[in-house]
Amino acid sequence: MLEGSPQFSQLVPEVRVNIVYSLPDAQSPADVAGVDGRITAVGGMPKASGPVRFGASDHMARLIIELRRHERGIRAGINFRWTEQLLTLVQRWCGERGWSMGVIDRTLEPKELVGKDRGSMAWKVAQLVKESGGRVPRIFYETRGWGKEPLFFMVGADPVPLAEDAIDIGRRWDAECRGRSVER
């Protein structure tokens, strides 16, 4: 579905996109399926760099596993590009659905975690859940941090509705950007 949406290619961040789906009892990234090499944009179209396989994702897999400690029903996730302009659109989109949006403020990250590879996931999720009233929001974003690109994340029980929602956001973004320059 994602590869068939040229509008979604506008949501591909520099770090690329991954969409993941975990086994019901996932304990490690080996228990989470993702796109090997992530999803990139080629010729204006989203393109999976490789096949879907278990263990292909590290970051998104660890995020889903950590989120499941707070909400067991979460098994899937997708990341996509964040900009100030896109934030405004996604806030409207969430409002139409009655969804609240969460944020992980990387400027609050403890100094001992900044720049430490694979060291901040538990802190990020704990901050998100705390700031979201003890719940995991279906959509949230992460602000810029040391060596980190800001990103949106959408999570849920199944990857198909996540892909459909991401495509819808891409279509709306494309429609909004026609006639004006797109922030990159």
The 10 Å CB-count burial string (b at 16+, else e) for 26-63 is beebebbbbbbebbebeeeebbbeeeeebebbebbbbb
165's tokens: 């929602």
Residue 107: the pLDDT is 87
What pLDDT score does 120 carry? 85
Q: Are 156 and 76 in contact (CB under 8 A)?
A: yes
pLDDT on residue 137: 98
The pTM (predicted TM-score) of the whole model is 0.92
Instruction: Give the pLDDT confidence score for residue 106 in this predicted structure.
Output: 87
User: By the 8 A CB rule, do 182 and 10 touch?
Assistant: yes
Predicted confidence at residue 56, as pLDDT, reads 97
d(CA 95, CA 153): 16
pLDDT tens-digit profile of 68-107?
999 999 999 999 999 999 999 999 999 999 999 999 998 8
Per-residue model confidence (pLDDT) at position 82? 97
Say what the pLDDT of residue 112 is. 75
Q: Are strands 76-81 and 151-156 parallel, antiparallel or unpaired?
A: antiparallel
Amino acid identity for residue 28 in this structure: S
Mean pLDDT, the chain, as a whole number?
93
Q: How far apart are the first and last CA of the chain?
A: 24
CB 77 within 8 Å of CB 20: yes
Q: What is the pLDDT of residue 115?
A: 66
Residues of the chain with pLDDT under 70: 115-119, 145-147, 179-184
pLDDT score of 113 = 74
